[in-house]
Each structure stands twice: as structure tokens, then as C-alpha cells.
Amino acid sequence: MTRTALVAGAAGFLGSHLVDRLLRDGWAVVGLDNLSTGRRSNLNPARGHTRFRFQRVDLSRPAKIPPADLVFQLASPASPPRYQEDPIGTLAVNSIGTGQLLERAYRDSARFVLASTSEVYGDPEVVPQPEAYWGHVNPIGVRSCYDEGKRYAEALTMAWHRQRGLDVRIARIFNTYGPRMALDDGRVISTFLRQALTGSPLTVHGEGTQTRSYCYVDDMVDGLVRLANVPTVAGPVNLGNPRGEMSVLGVAELIRRLTRSHSKIVFLPRTRDDPERRRPDIRRARTLLRWSPRTPLRAGLVRTARYVRTELTSPASHSVLPAG
């Protein structure tokens, strides 16, 4: 019998790639999204599939959630400008939304997979960050709606596991990039590629010495699927690319070279509570999931640049893009 996976946040960047992969793996997939930051067009490849169904649902309010054998919770704004525009909604979907999905999974004896984040480590004092690190988060800062929202979601997930015996998985996802990122999401890779390809200045925040580790989306989805498939896992697992750590200025220069862009680099004020260094320790993922990212940063950026070029020439994109 075909088994059903529920993907909350299905129209998002990561969610839509996960949907495609689950369909390829033979699952029936129900995608949920309120389309606040996700886009219908991300689901175009899935739409023609007989095993795929989409429901527009806002999980931050009480909602009717369909049954499933496997539940993925990826529903949340995830880029800093987007979650900072709607901090109440971000906290609501991570608390109320996660709670409803956990309850649904419990009723169906389903497995539950939470998409958590490297942001649970805040501005880390330990590099690289292992899962055992408790983090350094400003609980009332501008990023706290996301960081604390995800920390609450992790706490709630572990509570359902300990108190009710629910089979749960927690992925701590580090920076991920690739096709289907929204070009107006304000994130570093989508923004720099768009700027480089349109000849606008690349906007580096601060001096650009802060680092992130960048993982290509196909590798991330593979990690998530492996995490969902292994028989048992206790506690969270970091998913990210430890070899992809680079300064923001380094990324700007690399993107300029790869796209043969003549764009200038300009320096803007650093954003508040911006983490200084982020790099995953993925020893757990290597051992438990036999997983590590395969796509080198250059190769992933070339593929993503191809996508950004196509988006920029599609008429639909022009209305949503910010200037510069």
C-alpha cells in the first residue's frame, strides 16, 4: 500500500524540493502551505503527479490536518527579513503549528520530522557547532521570533517523544541555497546572485567578515530523507556543509567571478544580532545517516545562477523584485 507523507511548508524553497524527492521515492504526498512566503509555482513539477495533493492551510490557527504515515514540519518563514516582518506569525506557526502537527502524528502513530535550524545556536561561542552545544541566543532580540520559535518547537517535539512515546526526528538545518529560493527573500546568496546578474551593487552587511556554511539544496533534502528513514535517532542532528564555510565578502567576490559580473561591492551597516560564525559539526549525521554534502560550493552556485537568470527573464518576477 502507498504510504502518505505530509509536508507542512510544501510551497517553500526546501519544502517543494522535499515534495519532489518524496514523490520520486514512491510516497503519496499531501502538501500544506499558507503561501505567505512559499510560492505556488514551486509546486509546478509536483502538480501533475497523481500521488500529490495540495491544501492551502494556515497552521498558526486551529486547522484540519489530513492523516499521514510521516509528517514533516517545514512551515515557517525562514529568511531574516521575512520572519522579522511577521514575528507574531513566525512564533505562532512554530508553536501552534508544530503542536497541531505533533498531535496529528500521534493520532496516526506517524513519524514526525521537525525542520529546526542552526539559529538555535544563536551567535555561537563554539565553532564548529555540535548538537551538544546549548547555544547563545538573545531571547528578546529581532531574531528571537525565529530562534526561540524553533527552540520551542524542539522542546515540544522532545516533550511528545518523552511523554507520549512519539517517534520524532529533529534536523538542525544550516544555510541552504539552490534553485527556487525567492529572489526577494533578502538572503545572501539569492540577493548577491540577483545583484550580480542585473549589474547592481552587491550589498555586503558590515565588513563581510561574518561567515556562514552553505549547503546545496539536493544534499540537504537527501539528509532530511535519510533522517526520516533511519530506524531510530535520539536527539537532534545537524545538517549542513562544514566545508562550505565562507565569509560574506568571500561569497560576494566568488559570485562576481562566477557570473563575470562588473557589479561593485558596497558596504552597508551590519544587521542586529547577526551571528559572527556558523559552521556545523556533522559527525552525528555522518555516523547515523551515512550522510555528508557532495556538491561543491562553486558547482552549486553555477546551478543556482542558471535558475536566477531564468527567473529574472520571466515576466512574473519583475513585479516582486526590490530595486538594487
Q: Given the rule CB under 6 A, which residues bind ligand UDP?
A: 79-80, 175, 186-188, 191, 203-205, 210, 212, 248, 271, 274
d(CA 266, CA 207): 10
Select 4 or 213, whichever has its Cβ closest to ligand UDP. 213
d(CA 24, CA 281): 30
Select 99 or 201, whichever has its Cβ closest to ligand UDP. 201
Closest CA to 44 of 61, 60, 28, 23: 23
At its nearest, how many Å lie between ligand UDP and the CB of residue 244? Answer: 12
37 touches 14 (CB < 8 A) = no
Helix (H) or strand (E) holding 105: helix 98-107
Select 104 or 278, whichever has its Cβ closest to ligand UDP. 278
Q: Reduce the DSSP state of residue 30 to 3 states and report it.
A: strand
What are the catalytic residues? 146
Count CB-CB contacts under 10 A for residue 88. 9
At its nearest, how many Å lie between ligand UDP and the CB of residue 93? Answer: 17
Select 230 or 266, whichever has its Cβ closest to ligand UDP. 266
At its nearest, how many Å lie between ligand UDP and the CB of residue 175? Answer: 5
Q: Which residue has the cell 547555544?
A: 135
Closest CA to 282 of 324, 232, 205, 227: 227
How far is CA 35 from each of CA 117, 149, 174, 280, 322, rounded to the nearest angstrom? 21, 19, 23, 30, 19
d(CA 80, CA 72): 22
At its nearest, how many Å lie between ligand UDP and the CB of residue 81? Answer: 7
At its nearest, how many Å lie between ligand UDP and the CB of residue 21? Answer: 23
